Structure 1
Amino acid sequence: MKKILIYAHYYFPDVASTGQILKELAEGMLDEFKVTVICVVPSYSGVIEKEYKQQNYYVENINGVKLLRVRVPEFKKNDKISRIKNILSYFIRAILITFMIGPQDFVFSISQPPILGGLLGVLGKWIKRAKFIYNIQDFNPEQTIAVEYSKNRLVLKIMMVLDKFSCKHSNLVITVGRDLVQRMDIRFKNRNTPKTIMINNWIDEKNIYPLSSENEKIVTFRKEFGLENKFVIMYSGNIGLYYDLENLIKVLKSFRKGYTHSGIWEEGPKTADGRDVVFAFIGAGSVLDNLVSYVKKHQFENIIFIPYQDKENLIYSLNAGDVHWCINAKGIKGVSVPSKAYGIMAVAKPILGVLEKGTEIRCLIEDTCCGICCDPGEYEKVKENIRWFIKNASTDKIEKMGENGRNYLVNNLSKDEAIRKYKEAILKS
């Protein structure tokens, strides 16, 4: 049986989407590979539990996958210095522990942490004399440039040189969107572009599926967070830099329920069947505090913030929404794919998309008629689309959209089919 080493950065039980996908990929490849994963101790929130503060390395086994966890410093998501220290610690310790494990046939690394994920794969390839598969979930520095996280031209140029170096030294690059495949050609100006294919991300459609609104746990979830008898427009996922959420939340002033600063009560919109409209944000991230402050300042009573939900509760939280946002900031085309769309499709809910034309998920939404989209920055169009969903909340149009998404997902984007493609591509690399 072939051996494969995966550099995962985050891995279960961390809630990072890439960590969840890599867990399912690693376990799904056990029939073809002996799998070893190098990752950090659980710390996606920035906090590390006491049980992982005693040693520099921990060896675990989860469902047949051998895990080598490296200890890293705690960090704050809005503190660049602490995040850099955390990432560099993972990079250095991951290299050191690579020398401690036996021969490998393949090394598999994702584009997280930015730039260093690719370099880990190259170094792992050289250390283990193995083939290197580079899984690009997000292109950097392009993503950094798009959201203006850094404007230092020298730093960005170095980042580009290093990540192109990682691509050139890979045996295969696997991206997660058609527009990301095109990005490789743009990077290399259609000259000597490394071998690149696309395999979609996924959600486990057998574990995430539509449930009745009367399901006991959905009723409990709605009751706990004040969503009973409401029409819920939900955002679920990372509340970070790449989604333009700080501007989009300003759009919601047009749908506000609450007292104005002059003491006038604004009722907010209702559906035709009398339900109040509520906007629910589930998750955490670097801009969450800014959103919370904005909501408090403007005294919204129909915007609710809900903590990350454990994976076993994801099916209930997703089903608790009536419509789901799927968002990327302007400039993210060909750079990143919001995989949360697969979870929305899995529970047969319609998508309120704010995505650039030609991006992977917008193409999916438009091809399958499972939602309505507009471009990032088209804030008046966002309002118009929200009004459409409110107006049609009591019709079967919304239900049909959800069914379209679920049916397409099951028939074309299943977890088993995606993992089969990964195994086949790796073995042929």
Structure 2
Amino acid sequence: IMRGLFVRRMAGILVSRSPPMASFAALAISLVRGVPITYWLMDLNPDQAASLGKTSARSPFTRAMRWLNRRIYARAREVVVLDRFMIDRIERQYPVRGRITVLPPWPHDEALADVGPGSNPFRAEHNPQERFVVMYSGNHSLASPITTLLEAALWLRQDPRFLFMFIGGGLGKREVDEAIAIQRPANIVSLPYQPLERIQFSLSAADLHVVTLGNDMPGIIHPCKIYGAMAVGRPILLIGPRRSHAGDLIDRFHVGWQVDQGDVATTIAVLEQVASMAADKRDAIGARGRTVVRERFAKSRLCAEFCDVVERSMAAAPAREDALVVPAANSAAAATGALGPLSSFESLPPDPAVAAEVAT
């Protein structure tokens, strides 16, 4: 706050929601200096904490967060959210003074490529038997439960076709590690987060990527991992509500399948169906996702649009030259890839053959 109050030149403030007190700092500086705020949301709280049962509606934390949210939404000239479900949830709770823009966080497309099985050292190391790899890669968050997938993997432990890879960390990873320790299934592998330079190899080692989302989470969190999977040309299985941004993407572009949380039987059926599918048909679904990422959600395009929003915010105010960026504690998460604003982009024309294959 002190730096913002006394820095000599300022045209505006760009602030993210994480950590929460960053928005308090932005409010204080904006009020004193009279400069506009661009507010960039990665997720919504206290909504997430309340949905996970970590806080109550009347707790001091919830009251403080809602007080702060009301003031930042009333003060911000521009609000950037990740999908249309976030807009719905925000507008039901708070009056928003400024313009709301839907823009996804951009993927690391410069670090992602489709690496074939024959030239993939990660796949050779962890899947020497060339089984069908079902992969969950990323944060094993309580907001993105993996129980349905894990139970399906345990049911399929006697099927020699499958290998389930859980890559990453988080509180939910404990469930995977405990299942491996207690039941010792030969078809489940737990691996840590991979360094950025190996991401293209680890993501490309999958034949099918799984994205999960809690039933109450649309509009609260954003399933960013779907875009890394699409960027390397792999089909997607969403385990979560169809009415979500990931569900929109799958339905609109025909890049995969959706099953409900808790529906283990259907999850198993879909996994068996995809594993039995001809490789060229599976590749066509994955290639469609890669095309969507390249043509609709390239980093260069999204960065340019984000800069336009920030510049628009400052252009409406008396020019005071440089902008102050209040840094986000989890800014790296904003660069891992996310869903795009379906309202802002036309869909690709549907491929009837791919759509029929996905629908069966």
Instruction: Tell me by how many angstroms 1:247 deviates.
Output: 4.8
Partner residue of 2:155?
254
TM-score by length of 2: 0.80
Instruction: Tell me by how many angstroms 1:251 deviates.
Output: 3.1
TM-aligned CA distance change 1:300 to 1:151, over 3 Å? farther
Size of the alignment, in residue pairs? 312
Partner residue of 2:159?
269
Partner residue of 1:296?
181
Asked whether the 8 Å contact 1:356–1:375 carries over to 2, the reply is: yes
Partner residue of 1:326?
211
- The one-letter code of the counterpart of 2:41 is I
Instruction: Give the Cα separation in 1 of the matches to 2:26 and 2:260.
Output: 35
What is the SS of the residue equivalent to 2:170? coil
Instruction: Give the Cα separation in 2 of the matches to 1:121 and 1:226.
Output: 49
CA deviation profile, 1:94-149 (whole Å, cap 9, x unmatched): x4554575432221122212x33432332343455432111111011111122223
- The one-letter code of the counterpart of 1:145 is A
- The one-letter code of the counterpart of 2:89 is R
CA deviation profile, 1:14-45 (whole Å, cap 9, x unmatched): xxxxxxxxxxxxxxxxxxxxxxxxxxxxxxxx
Partner residue of 1:175?
81
What is the SS of the residue equivalent to 2:143? helix
Instruction: Give the Cα separation in 2 of the matches to 1:320 and 1:152.
Output: 43
What is the SS of the residue equivalent to 1:214? helix
**Structure 1 residues 99-138: aligned runs within 5 Å:** 101-113=7-19, 115-126=20-31, 128-138=33-43
CA deviation profile, 1:344-390 (whole Å, cap 9, x unmatched): 11100001112323322221121111111123333333222222222
Instruction: Give the Cα separation in 1 of the matches to 2:38 and 2:257.
Output: 35
What is the SS of the residue equivalent to 1:336? coil
RCO comparison, higher one (Cα < 8 Å, 6+): 2
Partner residue of 1:157?
63
Instruction: Give the Cα separation in 1 of the matches to 2:123 and 2:105.
Output: 29
- The one-letter code of the counterpart of 1:404 is R
TM-aligned CA distance change 1:384 to 1:97, over 3 Å? farther
- The one-letter code of the counterpart of 1:208 is L
Which runs of no fewer than 5 residues in structure 1 stay unpaired? 1-94, 257-267, 271-275
Instruction: Tell me by how many angstroms 1:181 deviates.
Output: 1.6
Instruction: Give the Cα separation in 2 of the matches to 1:398 and 1:176.
Output: 29
CA deviation profile, 1:290-315 (whole Å, cap 9, x unmatched): 32012211221111111111111111
Instruction: Give the Cα separation in 2 of the matches to 1:423 and 1:124.
Output: 21
CA deviation profile, 1:188-237 (whole Å, cap 9, x unmatched): 3xx5564211012221334312122222xx2x212333454121111111
Asked whether the 8 Å contact 1:137–1:337 carries over to 2, the reply is: yes
Instruction: Give the Cα separation in 1 of the matches to 2:214 and 2:306.
Output: 29
Partner residue of 2:136?
235
- The one-letter code of the counterpart of 1:225 is H
- The one-letter code of the counterpart of 1:417 is R
TM-aligned CA distance change 1:100 to 1:376, over 3 Å? farther
**Structure 1 residues 22-171: aligned runs within 5 Å:** 95-98=1-4, 101-113=7-19, 115-126=20-31, 128-151=33-56, 153-154=58-59, 155-171=61-77
Higher helix residue share: 2
TM-score by length of 1: 0.68
TM-aligned CA distance change 1:149 to 1:223, over 3 Å? farther
Asked whether the 8 Å contact 2:73–2:96 carries over to 1, the reply is: no
- Does residue 421 of structure 1 match 2:305? yes
TM-aligned CA distance change 1:391 to 1:157, over 3 Å? farther
Match of 1:371 among 217, 242, 256: 256
